[in-house]
Amino acid sequence: MPPKSERTILLDARAMSRALQRMAVEVAELAHGTADLVLIGIQRRGVELAERIAKMIEKDEGVAVPRGALDITLYRDDLETVGPKPVIGETRLPVDLTGKHAVIVDDVLYTGRTVRAALDELADFGRPKRISLCVLVDRGGRELPIQADVVGKVVKTGPGDRVEVQVEELDGSDQVDLVR
């Protein structure tokens, strides 16, 4: 019999909202305003989080922040080993990225391989002057030299653990759980 898994809440809805507020402020600070800022969410939950952060920045700064969505499936380095193919989501970039400050937004940063793929894919869409990384949860366990610039919450996890992010738009409620 497999050992019983234990679920703890890392962020509830209010804590997640506060974290996103702070992240929005930090992103605007990092970009020195919003002039060249583009937020790019990674499918799937990164897209929703980028949308929220963009709205918060828009509210604070009073200007429109362009945002896009990126599906990195076709840039993965493990297509040989995954059995059934993952469903490919939409990739939609609102503007030419050349000269922009692109901020990649994702829910969880773990091995860094998704971000590596995202960097490769963005390079095929132009030459941003800068690319930053913004994640809701950094769970450690990197396999590549990649780090986030803006982080909602840092948590130490082991390889068998799972960090589950729920967002209201897709899952009905906002919450981040650690399952171990």
Partner 1 sequence: MTVNLGKDLTGLEHLTPEQIRLILDTAEPFKEVSERPIKKVPALRGKTIVNLFFEASTRTRISFEFAEKRLSADTVNVAATGSSVSKGETLVDTAKNLEAMRIDMVVIRHPSSGAAGFLGQRIRSNVINAGDGKHEHPTQALLDLLTIRDKHGKIAGLKVCLVGDVLHSRVARSNIWGLTKLGAQVAVCGPYTLMPRGIEELGVQFFPRIEEAIEWADVLNILRLQLERMEKGFIPSLREYYRVWGVTPERLERSPRAITIMHPGPMNRGVEIDSRVADGPHSVILDQVTNGVAVRMAVLYLLAGGRPELADAAKRGGGAE
In this structure, are residues 93 and 50 in contact, taking their beta carbons and an 8 Å threshold? no
Residue 46 or 152 having the CB closest to partner 1 = 46
- CA gap 33, 47 in Å, rounded: 21
Q: Does 144 bind partner 1 (CB under 8 A)?
A: no
Tell me the three state secondary structure of residue 125.
Answer: coil
- β-pair type (150-154, 130-138): parallel
Q: Does 129 bind partner 1 (CB under 8 A)?
A: no
Of 2-10, 22-30, 51-59, 83-91, the window that binds partner 1 (rule: CB under 8 A) is 83-91
- CA gap 167, 169 in Å, rounded: 6
Q: Does 92 bind partner 1 (CB under 8 A)?
A: yes
Kindly tell me which residue out of 13, 88, 144, 170 binds partner 1, with binding defined by CB under 8 A: 88
- CA gap 77, 79 in Å, rounded: 6
Q: Does 66 bind partner 1 (CB under 8 A)?
A: no
Q: Does 159 bind partner 1 (CB under 8 A)?
A: no
Q: Does 84 bind partner 1 (CB under 8 A)?
A: yes
Residue 121 or 138 having the CB closest to partner 1 = 121
Q: Which of 104, 169, 106, 103 is nearest to 136 (CA)?
A: 106
Q: Under 8 Å CB-to-CB from 180, ≥6 apart: which residues?
A: 5, 6, 8, 157, 158, 160, 161, 162
Q: Minimal distance in Å, beta carbon 11 to partner 1?
A: 31
Q: Which helix (H) or strand (E) holds 7?
A: strand 7-11
Q: Does 6 bind partner 1 (CB under 8 A)?
A: no
Kindly tell me which residue out of 12, 90, 143, 171 binds partner 1, with binding defined by CB under 8 A: 90
Q: Does 174 bind partner 1 (CB under 8 A)?
A: no
Kindly tell me which residue out of 13, 79, 144, 170 binds partner 1, with binding defined by CB under 8 A: 79
Chain residues binding partner 1 by CB under 8 A are 71, 73-76, 79-85, 87-92, 120-121, 124-126
